[in-house]
Structure 1
Amino acid sequence: MNAIRFFSGLCALTFSSLVIAQGRLPTIPPEQYTPEQKQAVQDFETVRKAALRGPFQPLLHSPQVMTLMRSTGDYLRYKSAIGTTLSELVILVVAREWTQDYEWMVHQPIAVEVGIKASITDAIAQGRRPQGMSDDEEIVYDFSTELHKNKHVSDHTFARAEKRFGKQGVVDLTAINAYYTSLAMQMNAAEYQVPKDAKRLQRFPR
């Protein structure tokens, strides 16, 4: 709940005063919504208690996909078996892997607020393995980075995750990686922009 309150406050203080560059899939003005888009936005605002923002703006060009993604995120973001603190660590790993500035801009402050050390987030931003992680953070970090970089998870890493979080936790951990990867892909494809004064992740050679 602390993460949810912090995120809501961040949105209220920050996103209301920022103009996000439009990119390839411009934000649709409310007066131009189709009936399906209008319903999708209404459902979003009812469930999330916030205005439509971030990846859901370009996703609204396909309102059915947007609604399905929002619904999936309702569980994975707030109710997963690994908890909201560790899920923030996963999101940062995904944001770094995809060099997704918006995901990083939103979730790095939340991660620190809910208990992830700033030194850990700094290391991830720099592409380094963090030092001083807790056992749970190490399990989640190793599982996520292996999944992204190797397209596979080793038996040792899988066994540690299953022992700690159970089978549901392993499924949820994988799904959080997949969900935020999908959002990152949508924003990267749309060239969704952060504000000009926002800190951007370092670009690494591919």
Structure 2
Amino acid sequence: MSRYPPIPQDAQTPEQQRVEAGARKILARVPDHVQLTGPSGALLGPYSSLPYTPDLITPWMNLATAIDTQPGLSAKEKELSTLATLSEYNAPYILYAHSAVALEAGLSRTQIDDAKSGRTPAGLTDTEAAVYVLALEMARSRGPIPDRVFGPAVDVLGREKVARIAHVVGGFGYVALLATLAAKVGVEVVKD
């Protein structure tokens, strides 16, 4: 059971009623078989705690959508950045959902497993490998990125793409925190 049970529909404010619709919009690129709600009806992942902070729902949804739809990163690059970030967090539902998205973006199951384990997947282009290495360093360091990583990343990716990757890493760190706050370990986590 979620630590944040669903608020009954008739007790929700208009803002709270937007959470599920907003979650479904954000998850539009997630394969249909990925579950949005658990057995209790509670939204899974970062969405279950959002109704408890109604003043942050719209800004959070706007930020999540902006990060997810930003130009300049391919679907595969976004998922490599996401999986690199999630390799540093214990967020089972988010890993479950983004493993499915990564598969649809063109990564193999082996590449996904490597990325989730903090290993640069084999078979990536030089650009894709640079994206993964940079995102992993950002997620691990939680501080200034060393010049030995930043310089080569800028050489391969350019400053704009490096900044865009930082938004993905920061955004999914936020998502992982909300998801782990809301779920008890091992409860309402859906397996592949």
TM-score by length of 2: 0.77
Is the contact made by 1:28 and 1:57 (CA closer than 8 Å) also made in structure 2? no
Of the three residues 74, 95, 100, the one matched with 2:86 is 95
The C-alpha deviation readout for 1:137-194, integer Å capped at 9, x for no partner, is: 2111111111122233222432333234432222111011001100101111222666
**CA gap 1:148/1:121 in 2 versus in 1, 3 angstroms:** same
Is the contact made by 2:83 and 2:115 (CA closer than 8 Å) also made in structure 1? yes
Q: Give unmatched runs, 5+ long, in structure 2.
A: 29-35, 38-42
Is the contact made by 2:120 and 2:129 (CA closer than 8 Å) also made in structure 1? no
Q: Which residue of 1 aligns with 2:72?
A: 81
Distance 1:117 1:185 in 2: 27
Distance 1:72 1:184 in 2: 15
Q: Secondary structure at the match of 2:49?
A: helix
Q: CA deviation at 1:131?
A: 2.7
Q: Which residue of 2 aligns with 1:6?
A: none
Of the three residues 112, 131, 136, the one matched with 1:121 is 112
Q: What residue identity is the alignment partner of 2:9?
A: P
The C-alpha deviation readout for 1:75-100, integer Å capped at 9, x for no partner, is: 21122422322111111122221121
**CA gap 1:110/1:136 in 2 versus in 1, 3 angstroms:** same
Distance 2:49 2:96 in 1: 18
Distance 2:27 2:174 in 1: 23
Distance 1:196 1:119 in 2: 21
Is the contact made by 2:16 and 2:51 (CA closer than 8 Å) also made in structure 1? yes
| Identity %, equivalent residues | 24
**CA gap 1:101/1:57 in 2 versus in 1, 3 angstroms:** same
Matches within 5 A, 1:16-27: 21-22=1-2, 24-27=3-6
Q: Give unmatched runs, 5+ long, in structure 1.
A: 1-20, 200-206
Is the contact made by 1:88 and 1:110 (CA closer than 8 Å) also made in structure 2? yes
Q: Which residue of 2 aligns with 1:154?
A: 146
Q: Which residue of 1 aligns with 2:16?
A: 37
Distance 1:44 1:142 in 2: 31
Of the three residues 63, 67, 71, the one matched with 2:58 is 67
Matched residues, number: 177
**CA gap 1:197/1:169 in 2 versus in 1, 3 angstroms:** closer
Q: Secondary structure at the match of 1:66?
A: helix
Judge which range, 25-34 or 126-135, deviates more. 126-135
Q: CA deviation at 1:197?
A: 5.4
